[in-house]
Amino acid sequence: MHAELNTINIAPSSTHIYSVIWLHGLGADGHDFESIVPSLNLTAEANIHFIFPNAPVQSVTINNHMKMRAWYDILAISLEEHTVDIPGIYQSAELVNQLIQKEIDKGIPAKNIMLAGFSQGGVIALHIGLRYPQKLAGILALSTYLPTITQLSDEGSDASKTTPVFMAHGILDAIVAIEAGKSTFDKLSTLGYSIEWHDYLMEHSVCVEEIGHISAFMNAVFV
C-alpha cells in the first residue's frame, strides 16, 4: 500500500478558492489531462488549484501482468464480463481521500472541491464522490462506470445526493462499453442523484464537443 500519491499540480495564479482532483486512466499518468485546462475556458481558472495524481504502479492482469500505473487491477475483460479488483478500488479511494483532506486542511471547503476522472480514474471519482460525507463541488465521470454501485445502498452518503454529477461516454467505446456507463447513469438517476448524461460519436477518448460541455458544467459550479 502506497503511503501517499505524488501529483502534478497547476497552482492558482490568484487566490486559491477551488480545487480539482483529476484522475487519469489505466496506463496513463498525471500529465494526461494537464493540457486540457486552457481549453476549458474557466471563468475562475485563476482561483483553481488543479491536482493530477499519478496512480500507483502495479501489475495488471489483463495486460499480461505488465506493470503500469493503475488505480486497481482488472482481472478479465470481455463483452460479457468486466471483472475488477474491488479491494483495489477501496485502497485507491483512501489515497485520493488524503488529497481531498490536504485541500480541506488548506481551508478549501469540500463544496469547493471537484473530483474528475477518465475511465479507471472515473471509477475512483464516482466511488469516492458518492460516498463522501460532505457535498463536493461536483464529479466529472468520463468514459467510465461504477463497479461498486451495489454497495452504495449501504455506503452512499446523503450529502452526495446534492453533488452535481456529469457523466459522458463515447458511443464507439471499445474499452468501456457505453452500456456499462449508461447502466450506471440509469441506476444513479433512479437512486435520486443529481446527474446528467452526455454521449458522443467517439471512441475511448475525449472530443471537442465534450470539452465544451465539461466547461459549461465546471463554470456553472465554479462561479
Whether 2 is covered by a domain: the verdict is no
- The number of distinct structural domains making up the chain is 1
Whether 201 is covered by a domain: the verdict is yes
Q: Of 40-44, 61-65, 124-128, which gets the smallest average pLDDT?
A: 61-65
> pLDDT tens for residues 170-220?
999 999 999 999 999 999 999 999 999 999 999 999 999 999 999 999 999
Enumerate residues 6+ apart whose C-beta is below 8 A from 60.
26, 27, 66, 67, 68, 70, 73, 74
Whether 33 is covered by a domain: the verdict is yes
Whether 1 is covered by a domain: the verdict is no
AA identity, residue 220? A
Q: Which residues are catalytic?
A: 119, 173, 204
Q: What pLDDT is attached to residue 79?
A: 46
Mean pLDDT of the chain: 95
In angstroms, rounded to a whole number, what is the distance separating the alpha carbons of residues 19 and 169? 24
Whether 162 is covered by a domain: the verdict is yes
Whether 126 is covered by a domain: the verdict is yes
In angstroms, rounded to a whole number, what is the distance separating the alpha carbons of residues 17 and 50? 11
> pLDDT tens for residues 78-131?
644 558 899 999 999 999 999 999 999 999 999 999 999 999 999 999 999 999
Domain that holds residue 35: 7-221
State the CATH number of the domain containing residue 216: 3.40.50.1820
Q: What pLDDT is attached to residue 18?
A: 98
Whether 114 is covered by a domain: the verdict is yes
pTM of the full structure: 0.96
**Residue 140 bridge partners (DSSP):** 116, 166
Enumerate residues 6+ apart whose C-beta is below 8 A from 211.
36, 39, 40
Whether 165 is covered by a domain: the verdict is yes
